[in-house]
Amino acid sequence: MASTLKVVLLLLFSSFTISPISCYKGAQHPLDPLSPKELTLVQTIVKKSYNPSSNNSISFHYVGLDEPEKPTVLSWLSKPSTKTLPRRALVFTRVNEQTHEIIVDLSKRIIVYDEVYKGLGYPLLTADEQIAAIQLPLKYGPFIESTKRRDLNVSYVVCSTFTVGWFGGVERTKRVVKVQCFYNKGTVNLYLRPIEGIRIVVDLDKMKIVEYSDAFKIPVPKAEGTDYRFSKQHPPFGPRINGAAIMQTNGPGFEIDGHTI
């Protein structure tokens, strides 16, 4: 099926989660990532604040630890303590086509900050909206026509989302992605069979194709010789490997404990 590219939008608020090596048994390190329980709590608190009886659809685009200030962390580290510092989560949601920046105090179980974000850039794409977007062309008349013109069977067409990019400067008012489609008949390596010449732009908030053009026809590359799977390779590229053994007689040299190694 469609391999949904989890296209990671570079965005103002995207950040890398640091998993500090925690050696403070008993207390949570202030920079520990949110636990599954905390993530669920965030979801419950935020959803409740948006009155679920109204039909506001809410989507979560980012949920992560709202890191405490550095002096707070240093002071916590200076006295070996078993006390867990109050924990807060930073959340980006979309509600009614607006981006909200929210801070949840997990200890008090309340929202302490909630503002509509009006700056440049957009929150991360969610997997759900990308999956919905890549289904759109398959039921879109002009696209079906385009596949017919290329003698392609639409049952073998799979699409993927690509962000349109943001290069600073010009303010964009819509959350849109480009959708590129591929033909995976006779191969699993669909990326080698792009259906070119077609431009599809999807508005994610309206979940609709808002721009479509079929400007030119380029032959779709043939499927033969594109399979990358080991079982399909022939010498000299494989699969003729003599047996080799890798042993760790005393087990692995590391230990995994939750999110720490």
Ligand X SMILES: *[C@@H]1O[C@H](CO)[C@@H](O)[C@H](O)[C@H]1NC(C)=O
Of 54 and 249, CB closest to ligand X: 54
| C-alpha to C-alpha distance for 4 and 130, rounded to whole angstroms | 7
Q: Are strands 157-163 and 176-183 parallel, antiparallel or unpaired?
A: antiparallel
Quick one: tokens of 59? Answer: 């989507």
Asked if residue 156 lies in contact with residue 147, where contact means CB atoms within 8 angstroms, the answer is: no
- Least separation in angstroms between CB 223 and ligand X: 14
Among 55, 82, 242, 249, binds ligand X (CB under 6 A): 55
Of 97 and 115, CB closest to ligand X: 97
- Least separation in angstroms between CB 58 and ligand X: 14
Q: Which stretch binds ligand X (CB under 6 A): 50-58, 198-206, 228-236, 251-259?
A: 50-58
Distances from the Cα of 39 to the Cα of 50, 65, 168, angstroms: 17, 10, 32
Among 15, 57, 153, 260, binds ligand X (CB under 6 A): 153
| C-alpha to C-alpha distance for 77 and 26, rounded to whole angstroms | 14
Of 11 and 152, CB closest to ligand X: 152
Continuous segment of H or E residues that includes residue 116: strand 110-116
Of 47 and 178, CB closest to ligand X: 47
- Least separation in angstroms between CB 55 and ligand X: 4
Asked if residue 20 lies in contact with residue 31, where contact means CB atoms within 8 angstroms, the answer is: yes
- Least separation in angstroms between CB 155 and ligand X: 4
Q: Bridge-partner residues for 203, per DSSP?
A: 176, 208
Of 53 and 242, CB closest to ligand X: 53
Q: Bridge-partner residues for 93, per DSSP?
A: 60, 100
Quick one: tokens of 167? Answer: 């290069």
Of 185 and 199, CB closest to ligand X: 185
| C-alpha to C-alpha distance for 39 and 106, rounded to whole angstroms | 10
- How many amino acids of this chain bind ligand X (CB under 6 A)? 5
Among 23, 26, 37, 54, binds ligand X (CB under 6 A): 54
**Residues 190-209 vs ligand X: string with x where CB under 6 A?**
--------------------
Contacts of 107 (CB under 8 A, 6+ apart): 86, 87
Q: Which stretch binds ligand X (CB under 6 A): 52-60, 79-87, 89-97, 104-112?
A: 52-60
- Least separation in angstroms between CB 96 and ligand X: 12
The answer to whether 155 contacts ligand X (rule: CB under 6 A) is yes
- Least separation in angstroms between CB 243 and ligand X: 40
Asked if residue 31 lies in contact with residue 17, where contact means CB atoms within 8 angstroms, the answer is: no
Helix (H, G, I), strand (E, B) or coil at 238: coil
The footprint of ligand X (CB under 6 A) covers: 53-55, 153, 155
